[in-house]
């Protein structure tokens, strides 16, 4: 009954907003600037029509498919597991493979189309890709002061994997980065790279001496702080990515049958902008710790 009432209310809102907008546009001359009050009225009229359309769509879907069943909202540190050809695999592994497959296919397409015959004066897609590669290379060199010459390819790869994995959430898939095992694996790679570059620059003895600087009394504390790096990086990335996932699920649950359009707008932040920020922070921390180990 309520759905039918709201459905009947939405139609006048849509028609009223459209007709109001047309009436406002008819008073505007093409050769004169639009006054600010008129712009506000145009915005209000469009908002009324959009509100009516939103109510109409959500109520119509509720009438057709019925009320949405209530779901229990729960989260776990680890993903569920599934048997694949006799092997027990986590969904995190499967979704990571999917993200890797997307990146590999995209790389192959670029290799055999855009970069089949590279142009001396790049344009279009080639120019965009070269700008991204150059920007990552310059940023890596600036953060490590030239100590990580071979790091740029790894940094770009890991950032691309993190962002692609996060975009999977747009399809209601739990992103791999919201699994503590995945974030710890990435942080462990960072920890290994820190010590590899530190030992390569200073040697084993020099690396140990750097941990005992400026006095041997700080050596055990420096060792503990270095051992805490992968734990802190893993927990930080996991917490932020899981937090975004929880917010989106709470939004879907709260809106119920009204989860039309609004989650898509919120997803632009939590599934697009937010993962890019987290990837940038993770990359920056990786380069910062490597730079500290090589100083």
Q: Give the pLDDT band (50/70/90) at residue 101.
A: very high
Domain limit, last residue, from 65, 91, 109: 65
Dist. CA 223–CA 217, nearest whole Å: 11
Where among 19, 37, 65 does a domain terminate?
65
Q: Say yes or no: 170 and 261 in one domain.
A: yes
DSSP annotation of 146? T
Query: Higher pLDDT residue, 17 or 120?
Result: 17
Please report the beta strands in the chain, taking only residues with DSSP state E, as ranges in sequence order: 81-84, 87-90
- The predicted pLDDT at position 103 comes to 92
Do 139 and 274 have their domain in common?
Answer: yes
Mean pLDDT on 69-93: 72
Instruction: Assess whether pLDDT exceeds 70 at residue 146.
Output: yes
Is the pLDDT at 117 greater than 90, yes or no?
Answer: no
Query: 118-132, 220-234, 267-281: which has the highest mean pLDDT?
Result: 220-234
Q: Is residue 146 part of a domain?
A: yes
Helix (H, G, I), strand (E, B) or coil at 55: helix
Main-chain dihedrals φ then ψ at residue 171, nearest 5 degrees: -105, 25
Say if residue 112's pLDDT is above 80.
yes
Question: Residue 222 burial by CB count (10 A; 0-12/13-18/19+): exposed, middle or buried?
Answer: middle
> Does a structural domain hold residue 114?
yes
> Buried (b) or exposed (e) across 101-113, using 16+ Cβ within 10 A?
ebbeeeeeeeeee
Number of structural domains (the chain) is: 2
Q: Given this model, what pLDDT does residue 188 score?
A: 93
Q: Are residues 224 and 263 in the same domain?
A: yes
Residue bearing tokens 């049958």: 257
Neighbours of 53 (CB within 10 A): 18
What is the crossing angle of helices 219-255 and 180-211, to 10°?
Answer: 160
In the numeric block, the tokens 């995945």 are attached to: 182
pLDDT score of 262 more than 80: no
Indicate whether 232 belongs to any domain.
yes
Cα angle at 141 between 139 and 145, to 5 degrees?
A: 125
Say how far residue 48 (Cα) sits from the centre of its chain. Answer: 32
Q: Is 197 domain-assigned?
A: yes
Radius of gyration of the chain (CA): 26
pLDDT score of 71 more than 70:
no
Has residue 70 been placed in a domain? Answer: no
Once rounded to an integer, what is the mean pLDDT over residues 125-130? 84
Q: Are residues 258 and 134 part of one domain?
A: yes
Are 55 and 6 in contact, with CB atoms under 8 Å apart? yes
Mean pLDDT of the chain: 80
Which tens digits make up the pLDDT trace of 14-32? 888 888 788 777 777 666 6
261 with 153, same domain? yes
User: Which residues is 89 bridged to in the sheet?
Assistant: 82
Using CA atoms, how far apart are residues 232 and 222, in angstroms rounded to an integer? 15
Mark whether 197 and 226 lie in a shared domain: yes
Phi-psi domain of 66 (left: phi exceeds 0; alpha: psi -120 through 50; beta: other): left
> What's the pLDDT at 77?
65
- Domain assignment present for 71: no
Q: Is 242 found in the same domain as 113?
A: yes
Average pLDDT of span 166-188: 84
pTM recorded for the entire structure: 0.72
- Bridge-based pairing of strands 87-90 and 81-84 is antiparallel
* Residue 122 CA, distance from chain mean position: 28
pLDDT at 70 over 60: no
d(CA 109, CA 123): 17
Q: Are 204 and 243 in contact (CB under 8 A)?
A: no
Per-residue pLDDT tens over the stretch 189-203: 999 998 888 888 888
**Beta bridge pairs of residue 84:** 87
User: How far apart are the C-alpha atoms of 263 and 172, rounded to whole Å?
Assistant: 11
Q: Domain containing 33: what range?
A: 2-65
Percent with pLDDT over 90 in the chain = 7
- pLDDT band at residue 50 using 50, 70 and 90 as cut-offs: confident
What average pLDDT does the segment 95-110 reach?
A: 91
Does 97 map to a domain? Answer: yes
pLDDT tens profile 215-252: 788 888 888 888 899 899 998 888 888 877 777 777 76
């Amino acid at each position: 009954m309520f759905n039918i009432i709201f459905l009947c209310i939405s139609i006048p809102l849509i028609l009223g907003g459209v007709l109001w907008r047309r009436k406002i546009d008819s008073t505007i001359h093409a050769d004169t600037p639009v006054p600010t009050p008129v712009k506000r009225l145009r915005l209000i009229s469009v908002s009324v029509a959009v509100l009516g359309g939103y109510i109409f769509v959500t109520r119509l879907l509720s009438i057709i498919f019925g009320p949405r069943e209530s779901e229990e909202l729960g989260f776990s540190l680890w993903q569920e597991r599934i048997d694949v050809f006799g092997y027990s695999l986590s969904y995190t592994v499967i979704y990571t493979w999917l993200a890797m497959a997307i990146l590999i296919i995209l790389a192959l397409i670029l290799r055999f189309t855009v970069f089949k015959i590279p142009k001396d004066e790049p344009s279009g897609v080639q120019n965009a890709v070269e700008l991204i590669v150059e920007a990552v290379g310059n940023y890596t060199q600036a953060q490590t002061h030239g100590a990580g010459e071979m790091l740029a390819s790894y940094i770009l790869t890991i950032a691309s994997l993190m962002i692609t994995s996060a975009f999977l959430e747009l399809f209601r898939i739990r992103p791999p980065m919201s699994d503590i095992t995945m974030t710890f694996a990435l942080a462990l790679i960072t920890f290994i790279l820190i010590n590899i570059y530190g030992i390569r620059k200073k040697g084993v003895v020099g690396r140990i001496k750097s941990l005992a600087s400026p006095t041997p009394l700080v050596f055990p504390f420096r060792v503990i702080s270095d051992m805490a790096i992968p734990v802190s990086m893993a927990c930080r990335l996991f917490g932020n990515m899981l937090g975004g996932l929880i917010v989106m699920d709470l939004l879907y649950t709260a809106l119920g049958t009204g989860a039309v359009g609004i989650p898509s707008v919120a997803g632009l932040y939590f599934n697009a902008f937010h993962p890019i920020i987290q990837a940038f922070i993770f990359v920056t921390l990786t380069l910062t710790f490597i730079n500290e180990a090589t100083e």
